[in-house]
Chain A
Amino acid sequence: MIILGLDTTAKNCTVSLVDSARVLALQSEPIGRGHAERLAPMVLETLHIAGLSVFDIDKITVCTGPGSFTGLRVALAFAKGLALPRKIPIIGVNALTVWAAEMDPEQSLKIVSVSDVRRGQLCWSAFDKGRCIQPPITQEIDRARAEIAKLSADKLIEDKPVNGAVLAWLGAGLTPDLAPALPLYSRPPDAKLPGGVTPPQTDV
């Protein structure tokens, strides 16, 4: 089974192709901006390096966030278009999970992954022996640090580039029902109702 991995949530634009045993090709460029222009050509280049065509892709794993809202939509929207004609399954995996899986391949540790999502907030998630014990949550820095300290984790991972191969492999064992390709927005849209009222959370 050939899996395409896509990450546009942060500085790097990353495209990977893996099968169950090997990395067939992996490209990651620290471009900072312009992911919307770079991603599609990069997928073509990566396929070329691996000696594959787009018709060989069996599954897509997309990094869902946290990160730039516009950035994370780039890979998600692209994957949706790519998958539609052949109904290729798309798996969503967040960056916090990728970092933890890369750090703990034996699944023996207690790990906390933390992302600075700006405006004095952290988005974090915790894992114990490969199992998620705290799904991604966004909190004010002090509160987040206090709660993370209580967990006394073996390892603490702070923002780092997403490893495209680990991302793609994480999708191998998952189905779209278990891990749908839904964006992980670290906070609601920045909009106030007339009169400066904060709106209730919506489903969008």
Chain B
Amino acid sequence: MTLTPQIPPPRNQHDIARFEPTTQDAVILGIESSCDETAAAVLRRTKTGAIHLLSSIIASQDKHHRPFGGVVPEIAARAHLSVIETIIERAVTEAKIEYSDLSAIAATSGPGLIGGVITGLLSAKGLALSLNIPLIAVNHLEGHALSPNLSAPCPFPYLLLLVSGGHTQLLSVSGIGQYTKLGSTVDDAAGEAFDKSAKVMGLGFPGGPKIEQMAKSGRPDAFDLPRPFYKKEHANFSFSGLKTAVARAYERSDKSDTARADLSASFQQTICDVLKDRTKTAMHLFKQQLNSTESEIAPYRFVVAGGVAANKAIREALDQLCQEEGFNLMAPPLKFCTDNAAMIALAGAERLALGHTDSLDVKARPRWPLDTFAAHNNPSSGSGKNGPKS
């Protein structure tokens, strides 16, 4: 139904002047909407590569999801759409810039809940088209992987433990876009185990802080819970059996506050043990991998990112492991551990500096492993129509 006789060839890319990262500072607006936080941030990357975060706004949807004991995708998508404009406006205002100062728009385009991802990505496409500047489709996991650089420069290579409500994986990071999977969960994410265990004990949502609070007054050895893959040579995780074991143990208990506290403490201890053990294996794999290429890089760097890294007991366990294994722990501040748009703007800035931009027909991807080669050849979890998660 075209009223004009001539249809031009498809134009996926608007006419943008080429960005020169060596002579220009880049000002990037980042947008994040892959789960239950709507976030926008503005970041300046100088021509020498220095990072200055100008603003970072996060609107949490906790109150919408709390009654359900978990994130409801359709509720999340609706909430993203209703606040996205306000959040972007606040990020630009607080950064004290004009829209015309922006060099590019970076938006999470996966992996995540597709309704939310589409909302953020389409706003980004509208902005990029409106301002005639490049669009950068960012992998949410790459944002987490680079997030330590938001507080202090963290040189490559490093070992990354990404542990959140949606992901649990160990990656070797050797550069922008250069990730090697060392291990991953084969079923649930660690954060999911926190949320689901809190739900069965009636502790509320989100489960992480609730369980951490309850665990303070409980005995960590009160319940013996399963530790799948413990001491195995690979670095994979499995958490689905743990949440089931928590549910069974809770059913059999007297459901008193003492039982809840004991079970929370035992659960947290189990997660600590598993993360520590699996990370230790990955540290050995990481060292082997480096020894073949670079010999003198000790002390090695270990980065932990993702919402579960907010748990103090887990941080302490990993800190202790790092001391044992000769690693320096680089944990981004809490505000950059959980989902945020600053890390998306950062990943976008680094990609722009390498000349990587995306066309306006770029897809939102529910699944998008960082190490696509390993995910394709050696998937850690079931594939399904959207492909492997990791």
Contact = CB atoms under 8 A, between A and B. Distances in A.
Contact of B121 (A36, A49, A76, A86): A36
Contact of B115 (A41, A73, A76, A82): A73
B233 interface: no
Given A40-B126, A40-B361, A84-B88, A45 B10 contact: yes
Interface in B178-232: 199
Interface in A32-53: 36-41, 43-45, 48-50
Given A25-B4, A70-B114, A83 B361 contact: no
Interface in B120-144: 120-132
**Most A C-beta atoms less than 10 A away, residue of B11, B122, B364:** B122
Contacts of B75: 189, 191, 202, 204
Interface string A120-137: 000000000000000000
Nearest to A197: B67
**Most B C-beta atoms less than 10 A away, residue of A27, A194, A204:** A204
A76 B2 CA distance: 23
Contact of A191 (B68, B118, B124): B68
A45 B89 CA distance: 28
**Most A C-beta atoms less than 10 A away, residue of B6, B85, B130, B362:** B130
Contacts of A85: 99-100, 127, 130-131
A84 B86 CA distance: 10
A97 B72 CA distance: 31
Contact of B125 (A27, A40, A189, A204): A40
B67 A77 contact: no
Q: How large is the interface on B (under 10, 10 to 19, 20 to 34, 35 or more residues)?
A: 35 or more
B364 to A, nearest CB: 6
A200 to B, nearest CB: 9
B67 A193 contact: yes
Contacts of B99: 84-85
Interface in B61-105: 64, 67-69, 72, 74-75, 77-79, 81-82, 84-85, 88-89, 99-100
A45 B69 contact: no
Contacts of A78: 122-123, 125-126
B77 A36 contact: no
Contact of B69 (A38, A183, A194): A194
Contacts of B356: none
B78 A70 contact: no
Contacts of B56: none
B106 to A, nearest CB: 13
A69 B122 CA distance: 14
25 contacts: A23-B3, A25-B4, A28-B1, A40-B125, A41-B12, A41-B361, A43-B129, A44-B12, A45-B7, A45-B10, A48-B8, A69-B77, A73-B118, A77-B81, A77-B118, A77-B123, A78-B122, A80-B123, A81-B126, A84-B85, A84-B89, A190-B74, A194-B68, A199-B68, A204-B79
In the A-B complex, the 8 residue pairs with the closest CB atoms: A81-B126, A82-B126, A81-B123, A85-B99, A77-B122, A40-B360, A189-B74, A81-B127
Interface of A: 23, 25-28, 36-41, 43-45, 48-50, 54, 69-70, 73-74, 76-86, 183, 185, 189-194, 199, 202, 204
